Amino acid sequence: MALIVQKYGGSSLADAAKIRDVARRIASAEERGDKVVVVTSAMGETTDGLISLAYQVSDRPDERELDSLLSTGEIVSSTLLAMALKSLGYEAISLSGAQAGIRTDTAHSRARIRGVVPDRVIKELEAGKIVIVAGFQGLTEEKDIATLGRGGSDITAVALAAGLGAERCEIYTDVDGIYTADPHLVPEARKLDQIGYEEMMELACYGARVMHPRAVELSELYGIPILVASSFSEKPGTLVHGGIAMEVRNKVRGIAQDLNVAKVTILGVPDRPGIATTIFEPLARANVNVDTIVQNASVERITDLTFTVAKSDLDKAIAVVEPVVEAIGARGCVSDANLGKMSIVGAGMQSTPGYASRMFRVLYDQGINIELITTSEIRITCIIDEARVGDAVRALHHAFDLGKGN
């Protein structure tokens, strides 16, 4: 008898009929003899609806109240799911994040889990109940409700699995696993049977939206295998784990893309100590999340400095940077809001030369200009015109033979 944590996403719980379907899936896991703890997301687009309500009553909703409001989305889905299970004849109980022992810091709307104290969950499991936990939320030291950031119920699920010593965590969503590329962009994209934590982490951080990057990080830290699968089918899904064979024939595992990229370039920046701090400290204070940063080698102690931000942060970034440009005596600042990035990811790439040059050749053959390049040991990312991202991903998928099994 294994203890498993199952998480169901908002689209899997979007209406009453879907909640009843999910209840039947949970019941069949119980029938197989597993002990099940379930984590829910809010039904459908509930969270967006609640955020919009908050902004209808206030230009700047109070962050404590906003978190309490948003946490209700998951309370609704978890309570309904417990009722549905009971009506099928199963013992079930719903618990809020606070009741389930999810302890967080005080950073409202982006709280981090400090620890899990799952006594109540264990007590209810021992009493033979299926425990349904409202995802995305926890309790601060001051006993206020805090939420974990958008998409945060994945994080709740993995944290609970770690806190309970569960055998695995299953994430049920509206796609049937992790694909070699977005099937909407690439019809030949193939579902992977398995993928390593590091590869999953890079794909999740660089645009594959199936799993929250912080959930992947936690699962690697605690060594919890994760099954990503569809709640609408019985297909086997993708197992994310640490035990992937080192030598794999096809060394690019997947391609991710992200269309939410804007670029700011500061021209003619004097090359002297302290300049980067002068530019990036005010951006951090203004809460602008800077992604890629590239500084050129200087010619006669003058250089250009480019960084990228989310499109929605571009205006704010420019407003912060313009006075700094004056203050440091740079020549000016230009921006481009129509960019996207795509990344090839594969653990096998780190020991084999030639992947970057092959990638650049494929883009050149497509007539695509590369604006910026960044790499990690197992990832190469190119930032390009957003209108060409689809062509780039398709061409790379083909060139690296990702449609064929490995």
Q: Which of 10, 97, 101, 237 binds Mg ion (CB under 5 A)?
A: 10
Question: What are the strands, taking DSSP E only, across 271-331?
Answer: 290-295, 302-309
Longest dimension (CA), the chain: 78
Smaller CB separation from Mg ion, 78 or 343 = 78
Residue with tokens 């299953």: 170
Neighbours of 376 (CB within 10 A): 16
Estimate to the nearest angstrom the gap between the alpha carbon of 384 and the chain centroid.
22
Beta strand 290-295 pairing with 302-309: antiparallel
Q: What's the closest the beta carbon of residue 204 comes to Mg ion, in angstroms?
A: 16
Least separation in angstroms between CB 100 and Mg ion: 19
- Cβ 231 vs Cβ 8: under 8 Å: yes
| Number of C-beta neighbours around residue 60 at 10 A | 8
Nearer to ligand ASP, 66 or 275 (CB): 66
* Distance of alpha carbon 280 from alpha carbon 260, whole angstroms: 20
Q: Any idea what DSSP says for residue 165?
A: T
- Nearer of residues 109 and 295 to ligand ASP, judged by Cβ: 109
| CB nearer ligand ASP, residue 136 or residue 307 | 136
- Dihedral angle at the C-alpha atoms of 251, 252, 254, 257, nearest 10 degrees? 160
150 binds ligand ASP (CB under 6 A): yes
**DSSP letter, residue 100:** T
Which runs of consecutive H residues, i.e. helices, occur in 211-366?
A: 213-222, 275-285, 314-328, 355-365
Is residue 71 involved in binding ligand ASP (CB under 6 A)? no
Q: Residue 45 or 385: which CB sits closer to ligand ASP?
A: 45
DSSP assigned state of 54: H
Q: How far is the CB of 10 from Mg ion (least distance, A)?
A: 4
* Least spacing, CB of residue 346 vs ligand ASP, in Å: 28
- Rounded CA separation 35/126 (Å): 10
Residue ranges in 38-67 that form contacts with Mg ion under rule CB under 5 A: 41
H/E element holding 317?
helix 314-328
In whole angstroms, give the CA distance from residue 72 to residue 51.
Answer: 12
Residue 10 or 237: which CB sits closer to ligand ASP? 10
Residue 171: contacted member of Mg ion, ligand ASP, none (CB under 5 to 8 Å, by partner type): none
Binding flag, residue 306, Mg ion (CB under 5 A): no
Name the residue with the smallest CB distance to Mg ion: 10
Q: Does 73 bind ligand ASP (CB under 6 A)?
A: yes
Closer of 76 and 318 to ligand ASP (Cβ): 76
Q: How far is the CB of 218 from Mg ion (least distance, A)?
A: 18
Stretch touching Mg ion by CB under 5 A, among 36-44, 78-86, 333-341, 342-350 = 36-44
Does position 135 interact with Mg ion (CB under 5 A)? The reply is: no
Report, in Å, the least distance between residue 396 CB and ligand ASP: 30
Binding to ligand ASP in span 320-339, by CB under 6 A: none
Query: Among 61, 101, 138, 151, which residue interacts with ligand ASP (rule: CB under 6 A)?
Result: 151
Between 173 and 343, CB nearer to ligand ASP: 173
Residues 18-47 that bind ligand ASP (CB under 6 A): 41-42, 47
Does residue 207 touch ligand ASP according to CB under 6 A? no
Is the Cα dihedral 333, 339, 345, 349 positive or negative?
Answer: negative
Give 47 or 381: the residue with its C-beta nearer to ligand ASP.
47
Residue nearer to ligand ASP on the CB measure, 152 or 254: 152
Which residues 6+ apart lie within 8 Å of 286 measured at CB?
Answer: 316, 317, 320
H or E element that contains 86: helix 63-87
Burial of 293 (0-12, 13-18, 19+ CB in 10 A): middle
Choose from ligand ASP, Mg ion, none: what does 150 bind? Cβ within 5-8 Å by kind. ligand ASP
Identify the DSSP state of 369.
P
111 with 138: CB under 8 angstroms?
A: yes
Of positions 61, 97, 101, 152, contacts ligand ASP by CB under 6 A: 152
Q: Given the rule CB under 5 A, which residues bind Mg ion?
A: 10, 41
Point out which residues bind ligand ASP (CB under 6 A): 10, 41-42, 47, 73, 135-136, 150-153
